[in-house]
Chains A and B, each alone.
Chain A
Amino acid sequence: MASARIGNRIRRLRFERDEMTQEELAARAGCTRQTIIALEQGKYVPSVELAFKIARALGVALEEVFQYEE
């Protein structure tokens, strides 16, 4: 069976937004900085709710932040 994973562009989008810090994004999205770190390193896949909150905090659509890779 082919493995699927959810990739993201959080790190790049943060830097494109005046180098928004992980702390700031975490505060806006309502999670801890450690979760942002885990997401950027691809070690955690967020819930749909958190994914929407992160996209909203970055001011972009969900698909611009997260990609489904097969």
Chain B
Amino acid sequence: MTPLQKRAWWGLGVGLVFAAAFALVFTFMGGIDTFDRDQNFRIIVDVLWIGGLVANLVIVNPGLRKPGQLDERDRLVLDRAPRLQWLAVVFTLVAWVIALSEVYHATHLIPAVYLYVMFMSVLIVSTLAQSLGILVGYWRMNRGG
């Protein structure tokens, strides 16, 4: 396993733990209404999603700047990873738009707080998809792709 591959596995693992914690806290400790009116709840949720992003950033990126950590094959995988990231972000946005349009179709009024939640979810998905894109890149390359 290359250093980049190891970091991608760690990044994905830590990212999933934070994402699951974020989803569980958000769903079972309050939901969208509590998030809208309770500042303490917002702080807890913010700490979880920003913590996840920072942890992922610390795990995946800095050590790779040392010489000998990446070679041309790793760079090729890194260059291809954003394709999956882009797809994941687009599908997340599509899911949000369809869900919100359907739920609030009758009133035509979507609460503004959803913008913030959408933003958080897109960043979380993008970070997870980066690690996943790297792992998929190695998998495809090992199949001769």
Contact = CB atoms under 8 A, between A and B. Distances in A.
B94 interface: no
A31 B71 contact: yes
Interface of A: 30-32, 34-35, 38, 42-44, 46-47, 49-50
Contacts, number: 32
A35 B73 CA distance: 7
| Nearest 7 Cβ contacts at the A-B interface | A31-B71, A34-B2, A35-B73, A43-B144, A32-B71, A32-B2, A35-B71
A32 B71 CA distance: 6
Contact of A42 (B74, B141, B144): B144
B144 A34 contact: no
B141 A30 contact: no
Contact of A43 (B3, B68, B71, B141): B141
